[in-house]
Structures are given as C-alpha cells and as structure tokens.
Structure 1
Amino acid sequence: MSIKEDVEHGVQEEQIREPLMPSEEKNLAVTNEDDGSANESSKGHPWMVYFCTFVAVCGSYEFGCCVGYSSPTQTAIRKDLDLSISEFSMFGSILTFGAMIGAITSGPIADFIGRKGAMRVYTAFCVAGWLAIYFAKGVLPLDIGRLLTGYGMGAFSYVVPVFIAEIAPKDLRGALTAINQLMICAGVSVSFIIGNVLTWRILALTGLVPCAVLLFGLFLIPESPRWLAKVGREKDFEVSLQKLRGKDVNISHEAAEIQDYIITLERLPKAKLLDLFEKRYMRSVIIGVGLMVCQQLGGINAICFYVSNIFETAGFSSTVGTITYALIQVVVTGFGVAVVDRIGRKPLLLVSGSGLVVGCVVVAISFYLKVHELALQAVSILAVTGILVFIACFSIGMGAVPWIVMSEIFPINIKGQAGSLATLVNWFGAWACSYTFNFLMDWSSYGTFILYAAINALAMVFIITVVPETKGKTLEQIQASINA
C-alpha cells in the first residue's frame, strides 16, 4: 500500500472510530465551505512564523560567517602565526571536513532532541570554535576551532531549512526557506567587507553575534509542530501550531492532516540508512541527493573560494571584482526569495542552470583567448562578465532552491536519515570541487570551465526529467505524491 493510500485509509479509520457529534458536524460544515478556506493557516497573521524564521536564519548567517572568514584573513593569520601556505590551506579546508561530520549527525540529533534543541547544540560548537580561533597561539588550536565551526555550519545547513519548512504555511514556505540562502550570502559578504578593516581575532568574535541572537531567540519561539506530533507530544503540538498560525485561526484541518500523516508513517518500520534505498523512498532520495550534486559539482565553491585569484589571473582588480561579486550575490538572492513562491521551484532552477552554462562558457572563452594571446583587451571584460553572470544565476535558483526542495520532499519518518545523507553529499561535493579546482586550472584554464558548463547542462536535464514542482502544496501532499 502506498503512503498516499495509507493516509486516506487512516482518515477513514478515524472517521469510523470516532463519529462526529452534531456540534462538530456543524463546525465541519462551516470548515468545508469555500474549499476549506477558513482553515487555511495563511488567513491568520503569520508574524510568529516570520519571527521564528528570523531566529532560525541566524544559524544561516553564522554559516556565511564561517565560509567567509578565511578569505580576508589569510595574509594576517599567516604573518602573525608564521604559518606556511600548506598549514593555512589545512586551516581553510578543514572547515568542509567538520561540515561533513555535522551533516552525518545533524539529522539524527534533530530527530532525537528536536529542531530547537539541535540548534542549541550546533550553536555551542560554533561558540567554542570561534573562541578557540580568537585565543589561538599556534596552528593546532586554530585548526580545532575551524573544525568546530565547520561542524556547526554543516549541521545548520540541514536543520535551518527543515525547521522553516515545517513551521511555514504552504503559500510562504518557499520564500521563507529561501531566506536561508540569502542569510548565508549576507554572512559571507559581510565577512569579506569587514574583514578588510578588522583584525582576524576581532573578526572571529563577530561570529559570536549571530550565535547570541540565536540562543536568546530560541527561548521565545515554539518547536516544530510536525516534530512534536512525530514524538507523540499532542498537546504541545496543538499549542505550537496555534501559536504559529494565530490565536483566532482554526487549525483543526491542518492539525488533522499532519496527525493522520504521522499516524500512517508510524505504522511503518523505523527508518534506517539502508531503508532510504527502498523503492517507496528511492525517488525522493534521488531528487534530494541529485540536486545537491548538481549544486556543488557545477563549480560554485571553486569560484567562491578562489574568485580573487580568478580575477587576478584574468588581469582584473580582485578588490573591485570581489566587492561586486558580494553585492550581486546578496541582491539577486533576495530577488529569488521574493519570486520563488510565485514562479515556482522548477522554473527558477532551469533559469539558473541556463545562466550557469552561459557564465562558464564566457569565462572559458576569456581564458582561451588569453592562452592563445587573441584579443587580449577583451580577456578581463569577458572573465568578469562570466563570473558575475555565474554568481547571479546561481544565487537566483541553484543556490537556494535545492535546499528548499530537500526540506520538502522527505517523509518525516526518514527526514533525519535522508537529510543527513543529502547534506553529507553536498559537503563532500563542496570539498571535491574546491580541492580539484587548482589541479584542473593547471591542466587547462578554459577546459576547467567547459567542464563546469557541461556539468551544469547535465544538471538541467536532471531537473527537467526528475525534479517535481512543489509550489503551493503542503508537505504531506508533496511527500504522498512523490512516494506513492
């Protein structure tokens, strides 16, 4: 029996087992008028949902601070601590190893102690990491601090979009989840900019600010109602959902839909890692993992980590190029947040993928001209244009949308395991892309970007043939249709 059939069967069983009283029938009749519009959570003022999102995306901003820290501090740290280039390279790259560990453990921890409890744990790791970096007198505490912040960053990359998706009404879910990527970009950009005027130790302390806001805010927001329903805390579930939707909103329809879906999933055996590869879950796993592969292997981290070097190689000012890069990234990501629930996930991914192919081809042409000493006056213009097209198109779709879809498609009984797997693949792809970039550039500068263009073209084929549109559907509807 499919999950969708199980849900329908569970609803029928509940109706047979507990006949409605006359007053309840009257309420149900009122509820069902106008296609149930009275029960739509979007009818209430979602101020608490907005506030919860603001608190959660402090973790995303922290993510950006971690990513953006190493670029503006490289010269100062190497000078103050007398580090070799290989020692600093270890310091920079160990972040992704910490993120992989965070990805593996984030799902089970978030399922065991809740989304809020998990965010507290990950914040503690980031605080410890920044303090270790601040007080570091040598390479070992520096690397330990970077590893700890990497762990927190990798775990935040899973739990923040999942928490937002689980609390948001369906008509706001895409935009609110996309704010995750916007805040990551903001964290990176701010670190790039203020890192030019602050010492590397003080810059480490600025990473504590989003941690403090997050820890304080978690005391003021409710837990994910879907997680509460999953662990059987029915009273807390109803209180949380009512608080999120507004005290005057009728939540009975949404609450019943969530509970019926949870009941159906509880009849299934508890998910293990190998269960993700069963036929009923295979499509959602392929979609989630596949989008993460498309996101990372298309070249984003190679360009992000080495953008200054790319501009210098092309003969353009790295300072001007990097600042322009940072500003475009934030502005375009903000635009994507505004339109994702209007245009839809799939169209944004396809527009983004098309732009990534074009950007890579333009950069490849630039390096081809330089290598063969043709039209040298056009080399820097083409390189800058291609890089800016690439980051703009990545920011509008491929940056945020895979995380949105990942947070939507997994049934709650496998969300921890499947989310951890997808996040692990994402961070492994980030490491592979950034690690191989310099080797590829030594092989062929223009060939490297032709390779990225080909990967992005294949990603578009994957999106067209495999990825569904999830705009305007509840999480339960999405999961039932995918895993039917």
Structure 2
Amino acid sequence: MVLAYVLGMLVPWRMLAVIGTLPCTILIPGLLFIPESPRWLAKMNKMDDFEASLQVLRGSETDITSEVNDIKTAVASANKMTAIRFQELNQKKFRMPLTLGIGLLVLQQLSGINAILFYAGSIFKAAGVTNSNLAACGVGVIGVLATGITTWLLDRAGRRILLIISSAGMTLSLLAVAVIFFLKDNVPQDSDMYYILSMVSLLAIVACVITFSFGMGAIPWVIMSEILPVSIKSLAGSFATLANWLTSFGITMTANLLLSWSAGGTFVCYTLVSAFTLVFIVLWVPETKGRTLEEIQWSFR
C-alpha cells in the first residue's frame, strides 16, 4: 500500500494499474515451483507425494516422521466427518462463532477504513492540508509501523484488549475528524484557525490509522480462525471473507459520493459504526489468547 501511494505521486493512474500487474506476472510462473499442500495430498491418499512435499517444505535434513504421523491421524479423523452444507451453518452451536467471526470482519470495513486509505489524498485536501499526497504516503508508512507493533503485542497483551483499544481509539479519532470538518466550513481559509484545524485533522486521521492497525486491522482474521469449529472452518471462513470484501466494495464505491455530500456527515456515520463495534467487542467477543480450540468451543455452549 505504501508503494502504491508513492508510485501514485510519480505516475498516472493508468500506468499505476499496469505496474500492479507485475506481481501477478511474477506469481504465475512462481506457482510452478510451489509444492502441493501435504495435508491435501494426505487427504487424497497420495501418501508418497504427501511425504515428499512435506520433506521439501521442512528441508531435506529434517526428520518429519513425527509430523507425518500427526498429519495422518488428523486427516483420518477429519475424513470421518461428513461434509457440512451451507444450510447447516444455521445450527445453534455454530450461530455464535459465525456471528462473531462475520460480525468483526464486516464491522472492520463498515468503520470506513478503506475509504480513508483509498481516498486519503482527497480527504486531506478537503481538510485543507497543503501537500495531501505526501500526507497520504505518511499515513501509509505509519500504518506499516503500527501493524509491526501489533504483531509483537498480539500474543503478549491478548486479542480482546487490543480490539477494545483499537475500536475506542478509532471512535474518538473519527469523531474528531467529523467535528473538524463541520467547524472548518465556518472558518476563513486564510486564517490561523483554519491551519490549526487542518493540522488537527491530519493528526486525527493518522491516529485513526494507527489505532486500526493496533487491532481491527488484523485481529478479526485471527479471531475468525480461532473460534470457528473445524467442521465448518473452510465453508464459514470463505463466507466471512466474502462478506468482508463485499462490505469493502460497498464502502469504497459509496465513499466518494458520501464525501461529496458531506465530509463531516460521512465521518459521523463511520464514528457510529466504530462505537457500535466497541460495544459489540465488550459484550460478546471472548479472549482467545492461550486457549485451545476445544476450550474456545466449550465457551460457546
């Protein structure tokens, strides 16, 4: 994302789209050298290929005997389970994990974070920031640093507390941006107050990106993988991911229209979603740090 911001300052958007195809052209031939998933090969009963693939992944000098036996046991147990259909996801025992997993991923996008990231330059320009494109690049860099800190904190502080801090911080930051947009409409553009409001709006948006990166950026994906039962993990996980990206599509497509209608009103909407997200987390999201899958599943009964 930071690279896209930087390149966007240097080349026209059509050229940027062409540059975006380069990773794909590298990935396609690279796929030819990636070994097949060992677990999938074991599931398909291709045991020789399964062990060969695992040996490649672990290194030629690694003893894989123990892991081979563990995977064989896990695959044999999984094969005894009947494949679950989409209609069966509505069972009571699946309802709460699904609600939490899908809810967090949808709320992550409804908070408007992609609208902020995708339209950062336009938002900063509307807020009166002089070099809006450079400010957008700075936001991207700060997001990278904040995400790195989150990676270090995740298994130390716990998931739930980081989600609470993240959603609370986003709520306050988005509220500040909304208030500033309403205030600046009544302030002359050549005044000192207008400059101060522009700088505060920049800081508030940076704070929003930082607090998002502290929790709501990555942790909903972690939570989803930890709370979904094994029997529905692939189907439910795919559905939750679809819901996430459909919501992202909706937010991205409506952001420009909403910002044209009222920048302050748009951020009020995002603030309300973030406030609801905070309540959602406090009331329903459990702590999963240091707990086994069985312990997490038992807590939903």
TM-score (norm. length: structure 1): 0.54
In the alignment, is residue 371 of structure 1 matched against residue 189 of structure 2? no
1:215 to 28, 38, 43: 28
8 A Cα contact 1:341 1:471, kept in partner: yes
1:466 maps to 284
In structure 1, list runs of 5 or more residues that go unmatched.
1-187
CA apart distance, 1:308? 1.5
Counterpart of 1:344 in structure 2: which amino acid? G
CA apart distance, 1:356? 0.6
8 A Cα contact 1:293 1:429, kept in partner: yes
1:24 maps to none
8 A Cα contact 1:333 1:396, kept in partner: yes
In the alignment, is residue 313 of structure 1 matched against residue 131 of structure 2? no
Q: Could you say if the C-alpha distance between residues 198 and 432 of structure 1 is closer, same or farther in structure 2, counting changes exceeding 3 Å?
A: closer
In the alignment, is residue 404 of structure 1 matched against residue 222 of structure 2? yes
In the alignment, is residue 452 of structure 1 matched against residue 267 of structure 2? no
SS in 2 for 1:458: helix
2:99 to 277, 286, 306: 286
8 A Cα contact 2:54 2:64, kept in partner: no
Q: Could you say if the C-alpha distance between residues 436 and 219 of structure 1 is closer, same or farther in structure 2, counting changes exceeding 3 Å?
A: closer
CA apart distance, 1:417? 2.0
Q: Could you say if the C-alpha distance between residues 359 and 409 of structure 1 is closer, same or farther in structure 2, counting changes exceeding 3 Å?
A: same
What is the distance in 1 between the residues matched to 2:44 and 2:284?
A: 32
Q: Could you say if the C-alpha distance between residues 447 and 385 of structure 1 is closer, same or farther in structure 2, counting changes exceeding 3 Å?
A: same
What is the distance in 2 between the residues matched to 1:249 and 1:196?
A: 50
CA apart distance, 1:273? 1.4
8 A Cα contact 1:366 1:383, kept in partner: yes
8 A Cα contact 1:245 1:251, kept in partner: no
1:344 maps to 158
CA apart distance, 1:430? 1.1
What is the distance in 2 between the residues matched to 1:222 and 1:478?
A: 34
What is the distance in 2 between the residues matched to 1:358 and 1:237?
A: 51
CA apart distance, 1:272? 1.5
Q: Could you say if the C-alpha distance between residues 281 and 216 of structure 1 is closer, same or farther in structure 2, counting changes exceeding 3 Å?
A: same
SS in 2 for 1:465: helix
8 A Cα contact 1:266 1:413, kept in partner: no
SS in 2 for 1:414: helix
1:85 maps to none
Identity %: 39
In the alignment, is residue 277 of structure 1 matched against residue 96 of structure 2? no
Counterpart of 1:277 in structure 2: which amino acid? N
TM-score (norm. length: structure 2): 0.82
8 A Cα contact 2:174 2:267, kept in partner: yes
SS in 1 for 2:9: coil
**RMSD after superposition:** 3.1
CA apart distance, 1:378? 2.5
Q: Could you say if the C-alpha distance between residues 481 and 250 of structure 1 is closer, same or farther in structure 2, counting changes exceeding 3 Å?
A: farther
Q: Could you say if the C-alpha distance between residues 291 and 224 of structure 1 is closer, same or farther in structure 2, counting changes exceeding 3 Å?
A: farther
Counterpart of 2:3 in structure 1: which amino acid? V
Counterpart of 2:119 in structure 1: which amino acid? Y
Q: After superposition, what is the alpha-carbon deviation per residue over 1:147-197, rounded to whole angstroms, capped at 9, x for unaligned?
A: xxxxxxxxxxxxxxxxxxxxxxxxxxxxxxxxxxxxxxxxx2212212333
CA apart distance, 1:351? 2.0
In the alignment, is residue 424 of structure 1 matched against residue 242 of structure 2? yes
Q: State which drifts further: 423-432 or 436-445.
A: 436-445
In the alignment, is residue 330 of structure 1 matched against residue 144 of structure 2? yes
CA apart distance, 1:323? 1.7
SS in 2 for 1:469: coil
CA apart distance, 1:387? 0.8
Q: After superposition, what is the alpha-carbon deviation per residue over 1:102-138, rounded to whole angstroms, capped at 9, x for unaligned?
A: xxxxxxxxxxxxxxxxxxxxxxxxxxxxxxxxxxxxx
What is the distance in 2 between the residues matched to 1:331 and 1:372?
A: 36
Q: After superposition, what is the alpha-carbon deviation per residue over 1:406-463, rounded to whole angstroms, capped at 9, x for unaligned?
A: 3344344433321221112112211222333344445543233232222112212222
Q: Could you say if the C-alpha distance between residues 395 and 480 of structure 1 is closer, same or farther in structure 2, counting changes exceeding 3 Å?
A: same
What is the distance in 1 between the residues matched to 2:26 and 2:296?
A: 33
SS in 1 for 2:104: helix
Counterpart of 2:80 in structure 1: which amino acid? R
8 A Cα contact 2:38 2:51, kept in partner: yes
Q: Could you say if the C-alpha distance between residues 407 and 298 of structure 1 is closer, same or farther in structure 2, counting changes exceeding 3 Å?
A: same
Q: State which drifts further: 188-197 or 202-211.
A: 202-211
8 A Cα contact 2:121 2:133, kept in partner: yes
8 A Cα contact 1:365 1:382, kept in partner: no
Counterpart of 2:148 in structure 1: which amino acid? G
